[in-house]
A and B are shown apart, each in its own frame.
Chain A
Amino acid sequence: MKTPSPVTAVLLLVLAASLAPAREKSANPGPDMDRKFDSLFEASQKPAAGAAAGTPVEEVSGDAMPSGHPDVSGDPHAGMGMGPHGHGSMPSLLPDIGPVPAGSLAKVGALETVPVLHEGRLKPMITYARHMLLQFSGRTSYEKLSAIQVMAKLLFTPELTGDYRIFLINNPEVAEALGVVPEKSRRYSFKMLEKALPKLQELAEKANAVADEKRDLVQKEVLRVFGNLVEFVNITRTFSYALPNPIYTVKLPETRQQLELQPDVTRYSFWDLMSSAQAIAKILEGIGNRGEAERTPMEREIISLSQAMYLNSQSLHPSPFRIFPISPAAAAATGQPGWVSPAEMVAVPEQLQAYHKELNAWSGAAAAYRSGKQEEFDKNVAEYLGAMENRAYEQLSETHFPLEVLYQKGEPYFWALVLYWFALLGCFSFFLTRKRWLYNASLGLFLSGYAIHLVGIISRIIIMKRPPVTSLYETFPFVAAVSILAALFIERFNRKAIGLLSASLLGVILLSIANRYAAEGDTMKMLVAVLNSNFWLSTHVVCVTIGYSACLLAGAIGHVWLIRALVPGDESKPERLKEIAKMVYGTLCFGLLFSFIGTVLGGIWADQSWGRFWGWDPKENGALLIVIWCVIMLHAKHWGYVRNRGMALGSVFGAIVVSLAWFGVNLLNVGLHSYGFTQGAATKLFVYCGSELAFMSIAAVGLQLGWGSKPGPGKGPLSPERLGPAA
């Protein structure tokens, strides 16, 4: 490739700009349509920022020529004013590439470690790709494609992605409102939704006008879907500078020859032409002031091309995808955030030379991807990485990309969950059959799951350089880990599988919630100023969540006690029940200790940041409720108001209190702690509390009636009739 000198690049664009007015008419063949999309994308900025997890979408103006095609185009499609994916009268928002053959590559592992600045954090592209796909579709893969493969398709062959059903619309009402036939899978393709975009925009504008906490589920969903579509379009346009475009169709062979373009194709990319900037500039200079009539056909074609380039360079879409590090000085001068997207890079002609190697590498990678050349693709990405690392070595030295890639690909919480499930099944089988090998097997499975679980937590601590709990999401794996540790401690002294059972139960429930919750967006976000304090995060938050863990574990063991008490057993049953009650009691003491210190540390943090120790904030009240409940239980037990049965029932109620304090208060939408986004969680929480209260009442009544107090008809598996009232 030839290297355009910065001077010629600037000169070219300046010359083109001076000739621009004459071209404007033909550059915008469908002015009405363009205006429509301009407004669509301008309006999309706010909802995109709000709904799509705060992605900054700055200056998202409509593509000045979404369907622009030069007069000189010899392309048969050109007259239609739309890309190959146009729908009737409306041009598609996917980049117009035209009928250029597109291949693909299955191995895009080279992309995994490409650093992307997204939402304030430098992350490997695999994190970004998985987060994006999860946010779009609620899954981290699409059919047989992994997230990074989908990302590669969006970036390099965007024209083929319109049919991917990757947009999750949870609420069928939303689909209906958009005039889209609701799908059973609840997932839709861009093409299906594109028709409804004007309607969606209208709904999103309305929803956006409503205050955040007053939006209903449908409005939230509308904003989420709209933000996702905007983000999708922006991603597909990331590398539009490197992809063929109908506006760069070169019809005349002599032009191709003059500009030293690849001879066997007619459609080029912005970057292809930019590589011939010198030649173009020379011809433009040669034209000078000669009038329209005196120009040769080749000169006319080159003028059209250069003007298209100028307009194009000014209107390339910024994407959320910031992959080019720029120097702090340049960042300060341009007000850019240190890293920029390809479009932002291309928009500043002075940078074309300085970043030529990187831009060229991506262009080469795109071409290699589209033509299915694996080696060339890998080589180009490696070339980019090499050049980029030179610039950003300082920032990169603070990252842990290999570990993060491993974390993203390994999905430790998922595998821990799988192992916990097996351990839980093993536990149940052990209770039914009393086969020792089953116990050993489930313990083994469980411990391996726990090891993976801990690896997950530790990896996050290292990657984010933060204490383990900084967001509602992170509380789930952490609470699970702590309560499991406590349960294993109990198991250590009492090898009756009670601790193991409670531990796998809690592991399964909490990690399932975590996995569900992860689908709501990036779980590795940057923190707002007041939370940006590692000292308090690692003391207050950790203590409070340890308190949660202990009280939840006590609740879980309480369940075990109640169920065992309700089920007839042999003569060893009273002794067993007594042991389990002791575990409940000990765990509650532990819970009180940490809930108390955690709550107080929270007060001290509040005193340090806001000047008041206690402010009756709902989250503070929630923590206090846990403390008071533990105090009530311990004193009631001490004075003999409750015994084992009361302890068991009380600990189940304590678990309800924890669930309310943990995320129930986030549903109130007030106070300083309302950071947890808990859409639709209210119903689940109510169902949980309701069923626990029902369980407590049934157990209390049943025990009062003497269920399970008579010894059963012998050992062995339970039969349904043995569960009936025996009194």
Chain B
Amino acid sequence: MSQANPAKDGANSGMGEALSSYDTETSRAATSRGLSWRQKAARSSLTKALLHPAITLLCLLILFALIFFGTLYQADHGLFEAQKKFFGYGFVLIGGFFPLPAASLVIWVLSIQLAIMMAFHLPWKLNRIGLWIVHLGIMALLMGGFITQMLAVESQLTLAEGETGHFTTAYHEHELAFWETQGDTNRVYAFDESMLKPDRELDLEPYHARIKVHAYYMNSDAFTTRATNGPKYINASGIGMLEQRKPEKEVTQNAPGVIFTLQENGKADKEILLYGQELQTLMLTLDGKKVSAQLRLKHYPLDFSLHLTSFIKNVHPGTDIPSSFESYADLGEGGSTRPVKVWMNNPLRHAGYTFFQASYAQAQGMANKSTFAVVTNPGRVMPYISSLVVFGGLLLHFLIRLVPFIRRESAK
């Protein structure tokens, strides 16, 4: 406030000084006797260097540039590529030549600065309470983002009317799955695509076998012929060769492929090729058991089941403009079922899962299909809370500044 704090420069006065300097206050407080640990820490040259405002402003400017150019990049290359390029921990070459640190790096620097600032620097004063709340909220928002990035799982479930779903499917992550059918359940043993690195050896424990990965392609073309002198692979669809391709703009359109050797004790090695777009599953006999193998979109088993009874699409009268999409389903758990309805802006929440009405398919002579986006996200509530906190803080801070201003101006 202008009364408490002499203006730093002629320009800073009155309302123009709403976010006035706390550097000045801290240093003033420091001249009085008996420094607290907080004040001592704030005065250390390390803290000062770490909290240098130029770093903060530079980081914010870089973030601004990254989002701007990332958005342009996304239009041409798709979201997945843009996120990989601009949101990682490395460096981005803007326009092919100007290097900038990628967003995660920048956000970490800002978060650390924020933490230090809150720990040592921001003064404990009543008229700063708004700023405290704002920055605490920002902290929580960033933490929520981190939790979501680390722990949230997004998948989907497509059901035709009359079908029951027991698991959801990833959008684009694949897995190398082996399973044997026992009654009406499958016992599955699967490796994430992230584990399929060349020359890596993986144990296929239940069948006392080993896998040696030769190649994993995120996107590839399959050929029924095989390269001259190349090995002859075992494959259910007669694929003889894979060739790597540049990943697609839409990551869901990638067709991955894997080539590996299956080693069993006392048996000849098997050279196996699996392709992500295959309809057939490969049947193997392992350890005397009938085992299916497939490179498929990752499955996430559910502890309950969802049975789609009907899907309804409504349109505005006399047009093709949809006014709502509605799925009616039965949720089955522990022997009992209950009817549920999922529609636009009104998801189904159950056991940590959230089912959103995402898409549909209708065709003449076929049962309607409904697609749900399925999300589990332990950090889900964080943005709700933190944004409320930030908003409250901003409002409080601006009111603290604005009310005296209006009073003063009205008095004039």
Taking beta carbons and an 8 Å cutoff, which residues of A are in contact with B?
49, 54, 56, 117-121, 322, 337-339, 493-494, 525-530, 532-533, 536, 578, 581-582, 585-586, 589-590, 592-593, 596-597, 600-601, 603-605, 607-616, 618, 621-622, 624-625, 628-629, 631-632, 634-641, 643-644, 665, 668-670
Structural contact, B317 and A120, CB atoms closer than 8 A? yes
Who on chain B is nearest to A586 by CB?
B15
Structural contact, B70 and A668, CB atoms closer than 8 A? no
Task: Give the contacts of B1-58 with A (CB-CB under 8 A).
Answer: 8-9, 11-16, 18-21, 23, 53, 56-57
Given A493-B409, A593-B395, A612-B154, residue A339 in contact with residue B380 (CB < 8 A): no
Structural contact, A635 and B56, CB atoms closer than 8 A? yes
B134 to chain A, nearest CB (A): 9
Residues on A with beta carbons closer than 8 Å to the beta carbon of B79: 615-616
Structural contact, A668 and B72, CB atoms closer than 8 A? yes
CA distance A621 to B64 in the complex (A): 10
Given A529-B323, A616-B83, A639-B21, residue A582 in contact with residue B57 (CB < 8 A): no
Is B332 in contact with chain A by the CB < 8 A criterion?
Answer: no
CA distance A582 to B18 in the complex (A): 10
Structural contact, B75 and A670, CB atoms closer than 8 A? yes
Structural contact, A585 and B83, CB atoms closer than 8 A? no
Structural contact, B344 and A529, CB atoms closer than 8 A? yes
Residues on A with beta carbons closer than 8 Å to the beta carbon of B207: none
Structural contact, B344 and A624, CB atoms closer than 8 A? no
When the two chains form the complex, which single residue of A120, A578, A607, A670 contacts B319, counting CB atoms closer than 8 Å?
Answer: A120
Structural contact, B75 and A529, CB atoms closer than 8 A? no
CA distance A525 to B323 in the complex (A): 12
Structural contact, B318 and A56, CB atoms closer than 8 A? yes
A220 to chain B, nearest CB (A): 19
Chain A binding surface SS class: helix
Complex interface bits, B249-283 against A, C-beta within 8 A gives 1, otherwise 0: 00000000000000000000000000000000000
Is B354 in contact with chain A by the CB < 8 A criterion?
Answer: yes
Task: Give the contacts of B141-178 with A (CB-CB under 8 A).
Answer: 145, 148, 152, 154
Taking beta carbons and an 8 Å cutoff, which residues of B are in contact with A?
8-9, 11-16, 18-21, 23, 53, 56-57, 60-61, 63-64, 67-68, 70-72, 74-75, 79, 82-83, 87, 145, 148, 152, 154, 315-325, 344-347, 354, 356, 358, 373-375, 377, 380, 383-384, 387, 390-391, 394-395, 398, 401-402, 405-406, 409-410
Structural contact, B318 and A339, CB atoms closer than 8 A? yes
Structural contact, A621 and B318, CB atoms closer than 8 A? no
When the two chains form the complex, which single residue of A533, A616, A625 contacts B74, counting CB atoms closer than 8 Å?
Answer: A616
CA distance A337 to B345 in the complex (A): 26
Residues on B with beta carbons closer than 8 Å to the beta carbon of A494: 409
When the two chains form the complex, which single residue of A120, A611, A640, A644 contacts B316, counting CB atoms closer than 8 Å?
Answer: A120
Structural contact, B71 and A593, CB atoms closer than 8 A? no
Who on chain A is nearest to B141 by CB?
A600
A-B contact pairs, 19 of them (CB 8 A): A117-B318, A120-B316, A528-B322, A529-B323, A530-B344, A582-B14, A582-B15, A605-B345, A609-B344, A610-B373, A611-B154, A613-B148, A616-B79, A621-B71, A628-B63, A629-B64, A632-B60, A635-B53, A635-B60
Structural contact, B317 and A600, CB atoms closer than 8 A? no
Structural contact, A582 and B71, CB atoms closer than 8 A? no
Who on chain A is nearest to B326 by CB?
A529
New A-B contacts (12) at CB < 8 Å, excluding given A337-B317, A607-B380: A528-B322, A601-B387, A604-B383, A605-B345, A611-B354, A611-B373, A613-B380, A621-B67, A628-B60, A628-B67, A638-B19, A643-B12
CA distance A527 to B60 in the complex (A): 37
A643 to chain B, nearest CB (A): 4
Given A493-B409, A611-B375, residue A529 in contact with residue B324 (CB < 8 A): yes
Tell which of A527, A529, A601, A608 has the most Cβ of chain B within 10 Å: A529
B409 to chain A, nearest CB (A): 4
B41 to chain A, nearest CB (A): 20
CA distance A637 to B325 in the complex (A): 49
In the complex, the 7 A-B pairs of residues with the closest C-beta atoms, listed nearest first: A120-B316, A600-B387, A337-B318, A611-B375, A120-B319, A639-B53, A643-B11
B155 to chain A, nearest CB (A): 10
When the two chains form the complex, which single residue of A585, A596, A621, A640 contacts B15, counting CB atoms closer than 8 Å?
Answer: A585
Structural contact, B57 and A636, CB atoms closer than 8 A? yes
Who on chain A is nearest to B343 by CB?
A529
Who on chain B is nearest to A592 by CB?
B394
Residues on B with beta carbons closer than 8 Å to the beta carbon of A622: 71
Residues on B with beta carbons closer than 8 Å to the beta carbon of A339: 317-318
Structural contact, B11 and A670, CB atoms closer than 8 A? no
CA distance A603 to B390 in the complex (A): 14
CA distance A605 to B401 in the complex (A): 31
CA distance A582 to B16 in the complex (A): 5
A496 to chain B, nearest CB (A): 13
CA distance A604 to B402 in the complex (A): 29
Who on chain A is nearest to B155 by CB?
A611
B50 to chain A, nearest CB (A): 15
Given A589-B18, A641-B57, residue A120 in contact with residue B394 (CB < 8 A): no
B376 to chain A, nearest CB (A): 10
Structural contact, B70 and A616, CB atoms closer than 8 A? yes
CA distance A658 to B351 in the complex (A): 41
A225 to chain B, nearest CB (A): 22
Who on chain B is nearest to A583 by CB?
B15
Residues on A with beta carbons closer than 8 Å to the beta carbon of B15: 582, 585-586
